[in-house]
Structure 1
Amino acid sequence: MKKNTNFFERISQIIDYYGINSVNEFAREWLGYSSAEKINRLKKENTSPSFDILNDISNKFVEIDNKWLVTGEGEMIPRKNGIINESQMISSQNYKNQAPKIITVNAHNVDNIVLVPQKLQAGYLQGYNDPNFIQELPTFRLPGLNNGIFRMFEIEGNSMFPTLPNKSYVVGQFVENWITGIKDNQIYAIISNDIEDGLVKRCINRIKKYNNLICKSDNRRNFPTQNIEPSTIKEVWEIKLHLNFQLPDPADVYDRMNDLEADLQELKQYLAK
């Protein structure tokens, strides 16, 4: 990787790697700044970042090499042990034409939707290709999910809140070709050796470019982004349906909006005086 003498070039590479839409999103949503001014000023030649900016970036993107961040030397994401095994080398043949090892059908020979409860998700990594394990799981049929292979997973925790609340369910469609089938900023269930109980995240696909799948939480302030090496992945399911049995009460949201509108009107009247 060539040496980048301009720090903003390295920020641009980070933005590209993580699929971030803009410098403004990078500054506000990822670093928690009120604006992108501190980042944009680094576009000027020979402008050095402050220690606070370096510290904020290294704390948020922990997999990035600090030497590369400061000097531009070396690699942005160091390779493990400095090498990539032949089995880890990217090839379009490695990540396509996959199919679930085990599927179940109903009496009409139609594929069932198998439910993987949270308490069994750790075991799913070992049992996803075991007929006895899969056949013991509960199965369902749901309207509108007919063309494809589907699986249901229970959500545990608040990493995807408010999009996917704790204890809700998602139904995913099997993704055969990971290179072309995993779309940026869509939500997927990732079954990987690196994650004991599976992962439901919003993904950025950098498999072909960097041999990496970036998995983001919607609740980014409290849950870090994870990088998944494709060689560790067993299955990928694109989330098509969300089932939530804890229906939210919108009254609080409406009340806050009304209060905000009233405050704005009061401010306008004050400024007009």
Structure 2
Amino acid sequence: MSILSENIRYLRNQISSSQQKVADALFITRGRYAKYEDGASEPPIELLLRISRYFHISIDLMVSVDLRRISIKEIMELPDNRILLPVKVDEAGENRIEIIPHRASMGYLTGYSDPEYIERLQNITLPFLGLGKYRAFPAEGDSMPPHKDGAYIIGRYIDSFGQLKTGKSYVFITREEGITYKRLKEISNDRFLLSADNDFYDPYALPISDVFEIWEYTCSIATDEFKKEDFAPDHQTIIQMLKELKSEIKELRSKNK
């Protein structure tokens, strides 16, 4: 078996996926994909590009390095593995910021690496932003106040884990959750510990292998007017009461098991 066949088998196992699921994502049959894992044949360059984007690993690494000898975190931090996004500008030279609409947020999981999909998105420019590649993502739910459901978080693309800082908030594009906006609490060898600013929600671990993209918070756009009660002192008290109630319910359930 070639290094490539060993690597794609290893990467598939790392995400606990089936050959059929990977084949469906690549728009090929399971039998054809199985031949690549068995080393019976080599994928053409067009398909190799799709495989690279699916596993979020550069072609150079997949065909020349035994990935089993490197941790997923180290692989993602290698400069040669960066999947750089082009910075598009308008006629005035300002960065074009693509907007991911709420109705199309789930479609972003399959289209984030497709230039044609990105090209069809609406875009805006914000002259006060510095250098970098920016994109606007929809905020959903109440986990990150004061950002309301319907607001947009504008993030700057992170192309290396070395740029991440604990305590800052990021938009994570993940295999299971899709688009999620959370605060980074800790970084370990194989996972991130994320938390919501709303204390009602518990922190949770996100496997690094599940992450496709990371965008650092730079600013937000509110689509609803803030109200005085959004910042009322008793609002936080209610949140704390709900959190305590949640803990009590968990205890009751565990006792009744």
TM-score computed with the length of structure 2 as normaliser = 0.57
Shift of 1:88: 7.6
Residue correspondence of structure 1 range 18-97 to structure 2 within 5 A: 86=68, 89-97=71-79
* Structure 1 position 227 matched with structure 2 position 205: yes
Contact kept, 8 Å, 1:205 with 1:214, in 2: the verdict is: yes
C-alpha distance in 1 between matches for 2:159 and 2:92 = 25
Matched, 1:134 2:112: no
Which consecutive residues of structure 2, in runs of 5 or more, have no partner in the other structure? 1-66, 235-257
Distance 2:69 2:199 in 1: 32
The 8 Å contact of residues 88 and 231 in structure 1, kept in 2 or not, is answered as: no
Show the counterpart of 1:192: 174
Partner of 2:182: 201
User: 1:96–1:254: structure 2 CA closer, same or farther, 3 Å change rule?
Assistant: same
Task: Quote the residue 2:221 is aligned against.
Answer: 243
In structure 2, what is the equivalent of residue 20 of structure 1?
none
Deviation at 1:105, TM superposition (A): 3.2
How far 1:86 sits from its partner (Å)? 2.8
Match of 1:211 in 2: 190
Residues 4-41 of structure 1: per-residue CA shift (max 9 Å, x gap): xxxxxxxxxxxxxxxxxxxxxxxxxxxxxxxxxxxxxx
How far apart, CA to CA, are the structure 2 residues paired with 1:202 and 1:254? Answer: 23
Map of 1:106 onto structure 2: 90
* CA pair 212-126 structure 1, distance change in 2 beyond 3 A: same
Query: Structure 1 residues 217 and 87 mapped into 2: Cα distance closer, same or farther (>3 Å)?
Result: farther
Q: Contact (CA 8 Å) 1:150, 1:172: kept in 2 or not?
A: yes
Per the alignment, do residues 252 and 121 of structure 1 end up closer, same or farther by CA in structure 2, a change over 3 Å counting? closer
Distance 1:255 1:237 in 2: 31
Cα separation, partners in 2 of 1:254 and 1:220, compared to 1, 3 Å: closer
Aligned: 1:156 with 2:135: no
1:251–1:215 distance in 2 versus 1, CA, 3 Å: closer
Q: Conserved in 1, the CA contact under 8 Å of 2:87 and 2:132? A: no
Number of the residue aligned with 2:4:
none
Q: Give the C-alpha shift of residue 93 in structure 1.
A: 4.4
Q: Which structure would you say has the larger Rg?
A: 1
Distance (Å, rounded) in 1 between the aligned partners of 2:190 and 2:146 = 28
Q: Is the 8 A contact 1:113 1:140 kept in 2?
A: yes
The counterpart of 1:122, out of the listed 82, 106, 111, is: 106
Contact 2:95/2:126 (8 A) holds in 1? no
SS in 2 for 1:237: strand
Identity level (%): 23
- Deviation (angstroms), 1:172: 0.3
Given the superposition, is the C-alpha separation of residues 156 and 255 from structure 1 closer, same or farther in structure 2, using an over 3 Å criterion? closer
Whether the 8 Å contact between 1:202 and 1:218 is mirrored in structure 2 is yes
* Residue in 1 that maps onto 2:41: none
Q: Secondary structure at the match of 2:149?
A: coil
Looking at structure 2, the residues matched to 233 and 255 of structure 1 have their Cα atoms a distance apart, in angstroms, of: 36
Question: C-alpha displacement at 1:217, in angstroms?
Answer: 1.0
